[in-house]
A and B are shown apart, each in its own frame.
Chain A
Amino acid sequence: MSIVKPSLQTRFHIDFDWWRQNENDWHVHLRSLLCPEHEGAFSGQGVELMDFVDPETAEVHPMDGLQHTILVHCARQPGFVTAQTQLVEAVFRTFLANGNSPLSPVELAERLNRPANTILTTLAGPRVYRGLRPARE
């Protein structure tokens, strides 16, 4: 990972590897994001691996079916991100909704209507929230 200090132009994304390594409740958290339509579909353990195809670049990201369903369906439902959603959660959900395409604090600020500097300070701090880290360019 780059040791250059992130700036307002640095693009962030969800580092799913970080989730796998650091959070045991990864699936629990993801399940909480399922829409009513898919809530019952992932009740059991052992979800299959799927290839998510980036709609812009056609890059393939292998991920489990739960994550894939949230990415391609649940995250695109109205009300997934609202003005009341807490900042870190709002950024996390924004990346889920856009297929995890990297965005800079400035771009996130435009979408979330929150100050870019606040977003940068939160994401660039020593603690990694929800796997939100600078993207590899």
Chain B
Amino acid sequence: MTNVPLKLPADYWLNFSISKRDIEFLQNYLFESEIPLDESELASLLVVERIRQERESLLKQQKSEGAAIYIPKESYSIGQKLSFPALNWRKGEVKSVRAGANHQIGAFDVLEMVFDDGSTRLFAAGLVEHALNNPPEETPDPHVDPVQIGLEYGENLSKNLEMVLQADDTLVKVAGLWFPRALLVDIGQGHLNLAEAVLEMAAGAPLSVAALMEQVDLPGGVNAKLTEFSINYALQEDGRFDEVGPRGQVLWCLKRLEPEEVQNVPAPLKYTPIEYDRATLTPQMLALEAQLDDELSDNEQKPLKSDEVTLTLSYPHWRAGTLPVSARVRNFFPTAYESARVRFILVDARTGEKIPAWVVREQGYVYGLKAWFEKNKLIPGAQVIVRRSKTPGEVILDPRTHRSTRDYVRTVLTGSDGGVVFALLKQELACDFHARMVTVVPDVAGIDQAVAQLARGRRTLEQTIHNVLQELSKLTPQGHVHAEELYSAVNILRRVPPAPLLVALANSPDITHVGDLYFRLSASASEE
């Protein structure tokens, strides 16, 4: 039989809608295979199945219309209906047959075909040598190639499938994997209490389900994968437990043993959203926003593909012992299918020390570095290299420290009245830093007090910017301050991402942009 070349419309996968039949197919597949699968695996299966269905339907259509597929080597008789693959499956009926006249080819017949539109054309039959006698393999149509479809539409298909599966009560999802609810092994309250005790003994260190299963007496005689999935599901549904493994790894922890700063955003990182008009941002401002790696920035930067990135520590992150997970550096840190918090290991590039850390995905920060910052004598504005590791679940950190030197750098001082002053003072420096972002903070408690006082006073962002700009202006002869310096200094007193700050700078009547993102207070404002 001729291989039917399937052609699907160009927008078939773009406008793909998942039917009840598709879901039934996936349910049956999961039932039969007894292997939990994620959305992308299920979407791949669905693509292959849909192509099979479409091909089957095309074949049925060809058969139901009673037309034989035209092949030049075959013989046909008057009245026979034929379908022509080379003419986009046009159908016609043999009206007459005569002998062909071509001594170079030899004996063959000529069919007079009448097509559905009434037109008449002649075709050869009984022709031994012709390309259509042995049709070449179907030319790969990208719309019927599962690999190509996966590359082009896979993400979209997986998202759509996830939405549909979530509305299906017969399936459950654990750590990104779907499985039929009916096949789950019953995990009782006693088993869960035992699991809690085991995790408590681990003192906050996450454990794999395999490690838990070793110590919890589970029902025997069941497929081990099924038992593992069932216990994962039972733990997920119990509020005491938290799944904290990176993508592809299921690790469990007790919620109450997780650090407070992982459960709730640390105070220095807390931001009260400010409304602003992004259209005000110039291309230069947008470029600066992208460069600053602020996790609160609402830009659409693509994650970096390189193996390392240099991050500059802002004061809020230095104070909280965290690193920002900006759009640019997102794929350097482990992610997860569902877990809001992912536990992983940071490795000191110089000492090899392993530091347990957490990615708090939604709020965009990595927690667990306070002691490491102190140990390496890092200051706000210090530069840290983040490097990918070949070991899964690990990320390498290089502090870029060096022997101490003394130099003049911007320093923030606090008065007993809660006031803040910036000055250039000689400080001991033991790390590389960003010249515009650096600020030494000798009195952290004093700053905490100033921050609290500022919050109580309900000062606007514009007022804070005005005051900080006035202070920083005193440090240069021209009184010009770069937006980066302002961003760094304002964030000591209140958390604000670059965009609202830059918009406030652009809109303030008292502030003049002198070029290249340098700003100064207008003469009247600076005299106030």
Contacts and interface: CB of A to CB of B under 8 A. Distances in A.
Interface stretch (A46-54, A83-91, A117-125, A126-134): A46-54
B426 interface: no
A49 B132 CA distance: 25
B133 to A, nearest CB: 9
A118 B246 CA distance: 62
B115 to A, nearest CB: 11
Among B72, B86, B122, residue most surrounded by chain A Cβ atoms (within 10 Å): B122
Contacts of A51: 100-102, 105, 110, 122, 124
A55 B86 CA distance: 11
Interface in B120-157: 121-124, 127, 130-132
A58 B100 contact: no
A55 B119 CA distance: 21
A61 B84 CA distance: 17
A56 B123 CA distance: 11
Interface residues of B, number: 22
Contacts of B72: 58
B102 A59 contact: no
B123 A50 contact: no
B110 A57 contact: no
Interface in B88-135: 100-105, 108, 110, 119, 121-124, 127, 130-132
Contacts, number: 53
A59 B101 CA distance: 14
A42 to B, nearest CB: 15
A62 interface: yes
B102 A58 contact: no
Nearest to A49: B101
Majority secondary structure, B binding face = loop
Nearest to B85: A57
A48 B103 CA distance: 11
A52 to B, nearest CB: 7
B101 A53 contact: no
Contact of B122 (A48, A49, A56, A62): A62
Nearest to B113: A59
Interface residues of A, number: 17
Contact of B124 (A60, A68, A136): A60
A8 interface: no
A41 B60 CA distance: 52
B87 interface: yes
Nearest to B101: A51
B123 A59 contact: yes
Contact of A53 (B84, B87, B127): B127
A116 interface: no
A72 interface: yes
A51 B70 CA distance: 19
A136 B123 CA distance: 16
A51 B121 CA distance: 13
A60 B122 contact: yes
Given A56-B132, A57-B86, 19 more contacts: A48-B101, A49-B101, A50-B101, A51-B100, A51-B102, A51-B110, A52-B102, A53-B108, A55-B131, A56-B86, A57-B123, A58-B72, A58-B123, A58-B130, A59-B122, A59-B123, A59-B124, A60-B123, A61-B122
Interface of A: 48-53, 55-62, 68, 72, 136
20 contacts: A50-B101, A50-B103, A51-B100, A51-B102, A51-B122, A51-B124, A52-B102, A53-B100, A53-B102, A53-B124, A55-B131, A57-B84, A57-B87, A58-B123, A58-B130, A59-B121, A59-B124, A62-B101, A62-B122, A68-B102
